[in-house]
A and B are shown apart, each in its own frame.
Chain A
Amino acid sequence: MSGPAYNFAYLNEQTKKMVRRAILKAVAIPGYQVPFASRELPMPYGWGTGGVQVTAAILTPDDTLKVIDQGADDTTNAVSIRSFFSKVAGVETTEDTDSASIIQTRHRIPETPLREDQILVYQVPIPEPLRFLEPRETETRKMHALEEYGIMHVKLYEDIAQHGEIATSYAYPAKVNGRYVFDPSPIPKFDNPKLDNSPALQLFGAGREKRIYAVPPYTAVKSLDFEDHPFSVSGWDKPCAICGSTTSYLDEVVIDDQGGRMFVCSDTDYCKKRRPA
């Protein structure tokens, strides 16, 4: 079989080098958004072009790749990206979190604890956490540079004023290594504690916005909060309807036309392994 002659992992070597430089800088300055020359990919923005470029730049022929979308390995986005790399890099792919060396994710962190020899690559739509209140990029860069982060609490203040609690439930801002406030991409805030002190390297790629940032292994990530409204995550009052887990993140699934619904693990791999054989 002789397919089209793609370079390994689709991007040319020059581009991968450029992306790797950005990644190295991002790792050196945890939480800092490093600009990079985002390339066109054979998929639209919003499909994870940032994550794909990061993955392409770090991928080696020996890697095993897992791709999840909202925790699931079997959604269109996840399947497409997996088959993309399978085709252009010929790497092995997997749905098993433990066997993966690189996990590209959209909007979740796997329930299975990650290891030092794993890299988690996030797809990021909007990397700038300050944009909600300050649309000017020149100003937000200055605010990061000078650690002027008071404004971040304005959104949390508004939450409490309106809802009696911090209602922000995803893309919950956090401070990395005591310095940069960052947007952990639209993962549920349920996953924020997993960001903290993780043994795995965590890389974030925003294709449309042309930014890469990182949380190196074993780096402190502290979710923002108020002294009298500390950061907290709430669980569910029912276990997963399939595997019975009481500690995982659950999705609500509508099961019939009568409005019947059930709650199941969003991490399909985790759920599958817990299921009785």
Chain B
Amino acid sequence: MNAPLLQVSGLTKNYGSTPACNDISFALHPGEVIAIVGESGSGKSTLLRCISGQMEPSSGAVAYTHADGRVTDLFAASEAERRNLMRKDWGFVHQDARDGLRMGVSAGANIGESLMAVGSRHYGKIRASAEDWLSRVEIAASRIDDSPWSYSGGMRQRLQIARNLVTAPRLVFMDEPTGGLDVSVQARLLDLIRGLVRNMKLAAVVVTHDLAVARLLSSRMMVMQNGRVVETGLTDQVLEDPQAPYTQLLVASVLQA
């Protein structure tokens, strides 16, 4: 068995005296997709921010294993190292595409920036990659020089995904990637994400309140309530044989809907 890609140990984040995440541990293996589900306020977004290095936890550790086997302790590492990791090995898909895109520059520049950030300095190659990625996220290449402001919500989200995946990361964090979109747009986006994640053999941590998203994208689930993980397991285990009272309620309320 390979070393886990991400090892989260005893992670706690307090806001004042209130714990938003309480003693959370889990491992994510290469190519694995884990969904963190729970209602708003359950601490899932705080957890995501901590494990993706955007917020320092009150205690606990996050260890990342590089492709060459080297292990980085996220919060013991220098900020330079952490940011380098986030730029080269990781992606982060925000719920609101405006938070993940540079809205002031063209779609092509949004994709290109990721490449330039890791050292690409050949305009022609950068542009060709941007075109390729637009088509992979089903956006016409003719829209490459348009501003993301002229894009629909679904297109912006797909652009954000392209911007994240163009550098072929090993791990992608997604915060409610389909939240705030129309149902039909959601389905298309989920399909797209699922295909890309599989084809690129990406590992992903997906935060969602939507069990359908979890079912479609993830192989494993973590259910959170009041800052704690109340249940974990394979996605089909959690959905078909929920153990915790809260999970049973969550699953039952969805099936009735």
Q: Is there a contact between chains A and B in the complex with CB atoms less than 8 Å apart?
A: yes
Which residue numbers of A lie inside 8 Å of B, CB to CB?
A: 133, 142, 145-146, 148, 150-151, 153-154, 157-158, 160-162, 225-229
Q: How far is the CA of A168 from the CA of B83 in the complex (A)?
A: 29
In the complex, the answer to whether A157 meets B121 with C-beta atoms within 8 Å is no
Q: Which residues of A contact B104 (CB under 8 A)?
A: 133
Instruction: Please provide the 6 A-B residue pairs with the shortest distance between their CB atoms, ordered closest to farther.
Output: A150-B117, A150-B116, A226-B123, A153-B116, A227-B122, A146-B80
Q: How far is the CA of A117 from the CA of B123 in the complex (A)?
A: 41
Q: How far is the CA of A142 from the CA of B83 in the complex (A)?
A: 10
Q: Which residues of A contact B102 (CB under 8 A)?
A: 133, 154
Given contacts A161-B108, A228-B124, contact A150 B80 (CB under 8 A): no
Does B105 sit at the interface, judged by CB under 8 A? Answer: yes
Pairs across A and B, CB under 8 Å, 16 listed: A148-B87, A150-B115, A150-B119, A154-B112, A154-B113, A157-B116, A157-B127, A158-B105, A160-B123, A161-B127, A161-B144, A162-B145, A226-B123, A226-B126, A227-B123, A228-B124
In the complex, the answer to whether A148 meets B123 with C-beta atoms within 8 Å is no
Q: Which residue of A lies closest to B102 (CB)?
A: A133
Q: Which residues of A contact B122 (CB under 8 A)?
A: 226-228
CB B112 to nearest CB in A, in angstroms, measures: 5
Interface 1/0s, chain B 92-108, versus A by CB < 8 A? 00000000001011101
In the complex, the answer to whether B79 meets A153 with C-beta atoms within 8 Å is no
Of A142, A150, A229, the contact of B123 (CB 8 Å cutoff)? A229
Q: Which residue of A lies closest to B124 (CB)?
A: A228
The interface centre, meaning the residue of A154, A158, A225, A226 with most chain B CB atoms within 10 A of its CB, is A154
In the complex, the answer to whether B118 meets A157 with C-beta atoms within 8 Å is no
Does B109 sit at the interface, judged by CB under 8 A? Answer: yes
Q: Which residues of B contact A227 (CB under 8 A)?
A: 121-123
Q: Which residues of B contact A146 (CB under 8 A)?
A: 79-80, 83-84
Q: How far is the CA of A65 from the CA of B83 in the complex (A)?
A: 46
Which residue numbers of B lie inside 8 Å of A, CB to CB?
A: 79-80, 83-84, 87, 102, 104-106, 108-109, 112-113, 115-119, 121-124, 126-127, 144-145
Q: Which residues of A contact B144 (CB under 8 A)?
A: 161
In the complex, the answer to whether B145 meets A161 with C-beta atoms within 8 Å is yes
Q: Which residues of A contact B126 (CB under 8 A)?
A: 157, 226
In the complex, the answer to whether B117 meets A151 with C-beta atoms within 8 Å is yes
Given contacts A146-B83, A226-B123, contact A161 B106 (CB under 8 A): yes
CB A162 to nearest CB in B, in angstroms, measures: 7
CB A70 to nearest CB in B, in angstroms, measures: 29
In the complex, the answer to whether A150 meets B113 with C-beta atoms within 8 Å is yes
In the complex, the answer to whether A154 meets B105 with C-beta atoms within 8 Å is yes
Of B84, B116, B124, the contact of A154 (CB 8 Å cutoff)? B116
CB A225 to nearest CB in B, in angstroms, measures: 8
Q: How far is the CA of A229 from the CA of B109 in the complex (A)?
A: 16
Q: Which residue of B lies closest to A145 (CB)?
A: B80
CB B19 to nearest CB in A, in angstroms, measures: 28
Q: Which residues of B contact A145 (CB under 8 A)?
A: 80
Q: How far is the CA of A157 from the CA of B104 in the complex (A)?
A: 13
Q: Which residues of B contact A142 (CB under 8 A)?
A: 79, 83
In the complex, the answer to whether A158 meets B109 with C-beta atoms within 8 Å is yes
CB A152 to nearest CB in B, in angstroms, measures: 8
In the complex, the answer to whether B83 meets A148 with C-beta atoms within 8 Å is yes
Q: How far is the CA of A142 from the CA of B109 in the complex (A)?
A: 22
In the complex, the answer to whether B105 meets A153 with C-beta atoms within 8 Å is no
CB A111 to nearest CB in B, in angstroms, measures: 31
Q: Which residue of A lies closest to B112 (CB)?
A: A157
Q: Which residue of A lies closest to B78 (CB)?
A: A146
CB A224 to nearest CB in B, in angstroms, measures: 9
Of B108, B118, B127, the contact of A150 (CB 8 Å cutoff)? B118
Q: Which residues of B contact A162 (CB under 8 A)?
A: 145
Q: How far is the CA of A77 from the CA of B127 in the complex (A)?
A: 44
Given contacts A142-B79, A146-B79, A153-B116, contact A161 B109 (CB under 8 A): yes
Q: Which residues of A contact B83 (CB under 8 A)?
A: 142, 146, 148
Q: Which residues of B contact A133 (CB under 8 A)?
A: 102, 104-105
CB B114 to nearest CB in A, in angstroms, measures: 8
In the complex, the answer to whether B145 meets A228 with C-beta atoms within 8 Å is no
4 further interface pairs, Cβ-Cβ under 8 Å (given A146-B83, A150-B116, A150-B118): A146-B79, A150-B115, A157-B109, A225-B121
Q: Which residue of A lies closest to B107 (CB)?
A: A161
Q: Which residues of A contact B121 (CB under 8 A)?
A: 153, 225-227
CB B56 to nearest CB in A, in angstroms, measures: 15
CB B80 to nearest CB in A, in angstroms, measures: 5
